[in-house]
Amino acid sequence: MLMKTAREQIVSYGNRLIEDGLTVGTAGNISVYDPESGYMAISPSGIPYADTLPEDIVIMDLHGNILEGDRKPSSESALHSAFYLADIGAQAVVHAHSMYCTTLACMGEPLRSVHYAIAEAGTDILPLVPYHTFGTPELARAASEALKGGARGVILANHGMCASGSSLKSAYGLALTMEWCAEVQWRCMCAGKMNVLTKKEMDTALEHYKTYGQGKSDGSSVSGYNG
């Protein structure tokens, strides 16, 4: 069985997506990428997370070819591939329809630097990817464009969010941080007052993140907003 550990991680973090309230039903999907083999393990399409077994995970390459698995892969496999093909060191991607990121997505809002914790994503703004139908190459292409700025996460207009990392733990941690920051931003917008940090302030925060916690620069030591 290819990518056994990655399969088990995807099952485990899929259940956490539901437990942590980051998604409902079968929405969202998770993948892990092995740069050595060029293989991506991705959750199957339309199977509830609680019912997904390691053998249901599909192994693909980044060009849409299935290498191992009887299940239909997530309809967003091209979107996940876009992260691995971008120059951001991604080895795992979490895609979810989490409430507050999706609220911003439906307002046509990127995730702004209202709180410094967004620096965990490696940039001062998480771009809004223009709307395209879910599961299409157009959506994946639009995400590729948005990732050129170096952000490790994006907001997908009228759809949801994606977070990536050098490990699934890191990608999942960023997904939680993005959701928390999105709620803060939404609350500020509701209150009609929002002080966005300047580029200079965020550049300093980004520098600090490189040595924060146990000194990991991939954000994996950061659960966010606790600095």
Question: Which residue do the tokens 């895609």 mark?
Answer: 95
Give the interface with Zn ion as residue ranges (CB under 5 A): 160
- Cβ–Cβ under 8 Å, residues 223 and 176: yes
How far is CA 213 from its chain centroid? 21
DSSP string of 63-101?
TS-EEE-SSPB-TTHHHHHHHHHSSS--SEEEEE--HHH
CB 132 to Zn ion: min, Å: 12
| Distant-in-sequence, close-in-space partners of 16: CB < 8 Å, separation ≥ 6 | 22, 172
- The structure tokens listed for 220 are 């994996």
Q: How far apart are CA 11 and CA 13, in angstroms?
A: 6
Of 7 and 159, the one with the shorter C-beta distance to Zn ion is 159
27 or 117: whose CB is closer to Zn ion? 27
- Give the distance between the most distant pair of CA atoms in the chain: 53
In the complex, least distance from residue 110 CB atom to Zn ion, rounded to whole angstroms: 18
Min separation Cβ 134 and Zn ion, Å: 5
List alpha helices for 47-192, DSSP H: 77-85, 99-107, 137-146, 168-191
Point out the residues that are catalytic.
Answer: 76
Residue facing Zn ion at closest CB distance:
160
Least separation in angstroms between residue 162's CB and Zn ion is 9
Minimum CB separation of residue 116 from Zn ion in Å reads: 28
